[in-house]
């Protein structure tokens, strides 16, 4: 009920904003303070980029448990699975450079064999079971390649259908650590973080660079139905699926580099976001760490992040319009109970507010 009420609240706020604001940025930004309040988010940072430049920068709330430290542009967050966009892009670039072979078998790593021994019979739904009302096919070690794992095609018959499996994707980091000369953190730094001067990003607790990121970290909270309760910090180190801590504007540096040719040629960028085919010949909804979706005539490229009862994040690109939405929260309230078999970012009420403000899905770009 809370999510439905929040959705209605967001849309009603947006309707009022549409009547008064003169620009899409003003329309969208005017409802964010009430959105944060109604969703019980202590610290919320939202950035909208238009052609690489900030159209909206909103830093709302407070980033400590006493409510004394206001959220600012320096506030950092654990971005959970949005990390996959950086991880997947890194592996794509390393494959293009000949340093990593995406078609190499996962079984080349002993860690993968260890996963094979316990995961299929673990009882974890991602190994085969119900996730958000959907029955995932069984996971079995059947010759998966690095490419199939990074494209989320590891469940069922490997290399066929898309099934979102964050636990298996997380094994990519361990695979690189074991079989490659450079560990995964070093690879990500070499291909993405250091070339882009992403100095407000840490790759996990054990990263030896950019310690100041933790001093600006908004601690996690959970709304228990009555109040927001401070939660333990995530204690996992950096891995393929999650582990980056950063500011929204550092992710904006990554976003600009994707679009302006700094990281990839136009042909490489097209290949990065070209998914494999499903068995019926239709394109998959995931490629190289990115969700892909066609929504009412609009091309959407995105990822969400969810650390249960702690953090959530949204990173959405609408490339034909030159628009990007970045939203970080120190609660799980940006999460919308994503299904494991579909790319449906329109189910997010914040994204719906963004769409309405900017006319996405309503008019021709």
- 10: confidence class by pLDDT, cuts 50, 70, 90: low
Instruction: Tell me what pLDDT residue 235 has.
Output: 80
Average pLDDT on 258-265 reads 96
Strand partners, 307: 311
Q: What is the mean pLDDT of residues 285-302?
A: 97
Q: Which residue has the higher pLDDT, 19 or 359?
A: 359
The yes-or-no verdict on residue 6 having pLDDT over 80 is no
Give pLDDT tens digits for 111-125. 999 999 999 999 999
Average pLDDT (258-287) is 95
pLDDT of residue 13: 52
Confidence of residue 196 (pLDDT cuts 50, 70, 90): very high
Distance CA 127, CA 140 (A): 8
**Rg of the chain in Å (alpha carbons):** 20
**What band does 287 get if pLDDT is binned at 50, 70 and 90?**
very high
Nearest-angstrom CA–CA distance, 14 and 53: 23
Set out the domains of the chain in order of their start, with CATH numbers: 1-41+56-80+93-99+180-337+350-365 (3.40.710.10), 101-175 (no CATH)
What is the arithmetic mean of pLDDT over 289-294? Answer: 97
* pLDDT at 21 exceeding the cut of 70: no
Q: What is the DSSP string of 293-314?
A: EEETTEEEEEEEEEETTTEEEE
Q: What six digits make up the tokens of 165?
A: 């499996």
In angstroms, the CA 348 to CA 337 distance is: 9
pLDDT over threshold 80, residue 333: yes
Q: What is the pLDDT of residue 11?
A: 52
């Amino acid at each position: 009920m809370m999510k439905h009420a929040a959705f209605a609240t967001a849309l009603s706020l947006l309707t009022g904003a549409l009547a008064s604001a003169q620009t899409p940025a003003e329309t969208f930004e005017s409802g964010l303070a009430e959105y944060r309040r109604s969703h019980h988010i202590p610290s919320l940072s939202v950035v909208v980029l238009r052609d690489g430049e900030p159209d909206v920068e909103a830093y709302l709330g407070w980033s400590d448990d006493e409510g004394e430290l206001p959220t600012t542009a320096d506030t950092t967050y654990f971005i959970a699975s949005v990390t996959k966009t950086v991880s997947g892009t890194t592996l794509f670039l390393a494959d293009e450079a000949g340093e990593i072979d995406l078609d190499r078998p996962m079984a080349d790593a002993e860690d993968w064999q260890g996963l094979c021994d316990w995961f299929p019979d673990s009882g974890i739904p991602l190994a085969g079971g119900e996730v958000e009302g959907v029955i995932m096919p069984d996971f079995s070690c059947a010759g998966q390649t690095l490419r199939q794992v990074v494209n989320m095609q590891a469940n069922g018959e490997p290399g066929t259908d898309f099934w979102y499996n964050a636990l298996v994707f997380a094994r990519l980091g361990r695979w690189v650590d074991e079989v490659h000369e450079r560990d995964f953190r070093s690879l990500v730094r070499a291909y993405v973080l250091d070339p882009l001067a992403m100095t407000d990003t840490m790759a996990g607790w054990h990263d030896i660079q950019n310690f100041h990121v933790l001093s600006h970290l908004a601690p996690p909270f959970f709304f228990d139905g009555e109040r927001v309760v401070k939660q333990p910090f995530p204690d996992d180190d950096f891995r393929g699926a999650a582990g980056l801590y950063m500011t929204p504007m550092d992710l904006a540096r990554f976003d600009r580099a994707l679009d302006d040719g700094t990281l990839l040629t136009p042909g490489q960028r097209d290949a990065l976001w070209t998914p494999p085919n499903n068995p019926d010949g239709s394109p998959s909804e995931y490629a190289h760490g990115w969700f892909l979706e066609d929504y009412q005539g609009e091309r959407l490229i995105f990822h969400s992040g969810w650390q249960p009862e702690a953090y959530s994040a949204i990173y959405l690109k609408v490339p034909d319009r030159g628009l990007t939405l970045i939203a970080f929260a120190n609660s799980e309230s940006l999460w919308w109970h994503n299904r494991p078999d579909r790319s449906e970012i329109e189910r997010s009420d914040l994204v719906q507010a963004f769409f309405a403000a900017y006319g996405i899905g309503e008019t021709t770009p």
